[in-house]
Amino acid sequence: MRVREKFWETIPLRQLTPQEWEALCDGCGKCCLHKLEDSDSGEVFYTRVACRLLDPDSCRCTDYSQRQRRVTACVVLRLEDIADFDYLPATCAYRLLARGQGLPDWHYLVSDDAEQVHALGLSVRGRTLSGEFVHPDGLDEHIIHWVE
C-alpha cells in the first residue's frame, strides 16, 4: 500500500496506515539510544550508548522485524502510548504530530532529502558507542546534551 500525499498534514495519527506510521520516522536513531530517568523528577537523559542493533552509519535498526525478540527493552511506538511520547526527542515526528505541531522543514517527507537529518547534525550518526561495550551501571558516564 502506498502512503497518501502529505498524510502527516491531513490525517490524524490514529488514522494512519501502518506504512504511513512507519514513514514518519526521520531516521535520526535517537530512540535507539539508552536513556536514564531521574526517579525523583522524571526527567529523561539520553546517553550516547546505542542499542547493539543500531547501525551507526545508517541510523537504522539492523534487524527491525525481530528487534523486540532480540532486544527486550526495544522502544516500540504505539498509538495507545501517544500521551507518553514526551521522552522522545523534541524533533521526533511522532512527538510533534501528537502535540498538533507540523514536521520541520528538514524532515525527509517535507524536504524529500533523507540525508538532511544527518547533514544538519540531528541524527546520532558518528556519535554513538555500542551498548555491547558499556556496562549498564556505567551509562551515567555517557549522558549527552545535544542541541536539537
Q: What is the rounded distance in angstroms from the CA atom of residue 51 to the CA atom of residue 29?
A: 10
Evaluate whether residue 73 is within a structural domain: yes
User: What is the number of domains present in the chain?
Assistant: 1
Evaluate whether residue 148 is within a structural domain: no
Q: What is the pLDDT of residue 78?
A: 87
Evaluate whether residue 50 is within a structural domain: yes
- pLDDT greater than 60 at residue 130: yes
Q: Is 15 left (phi over 0), alpha (psi -120 to 50) or beta?
A: alpha
Confidence tier at 145 by pLDDT (50, 70, 90): confident
Evaluate whether residue 92 is within a structural domain: yes
- pLDDT greater than 60 at residue 92: yes
Evaluate whether residue 2 is within a structural domain: no
Give the SS3 label for residue 78: coil
Give the SS3 label for residue 136: helix
Evaluate whether residue 147 is within a structural domain: no
Range of the domain at 21: 7-142
- pLDDT greater than 60 at residue 35: yes
Q: Within 10 Å of residue 21's Cβ, how many Cβ atoms?
A: 16
Q: Which residues pair with 33 in a beta bridge?
A: 50
88, 95 Cβ separation under 8 angstroms: yes
Closest to 147 (Cα-Cα) out of 91, 103, 101: 91
79, 14 Cβ separation under 8 angstroms: yes
Evaluate whether residue 113 is within a structural domain: yes
Evaluate whether residue 125 is within a structural domain: yes
Q: What is the mean pLDDT of residues 108-135?
A: 94
**pLDDT exceeding 90 applies to what percent of the chain?**
73
Q: What is the mean pLDDT of residues 34-43?
A: 90
The DSSP call for residue 45 is E
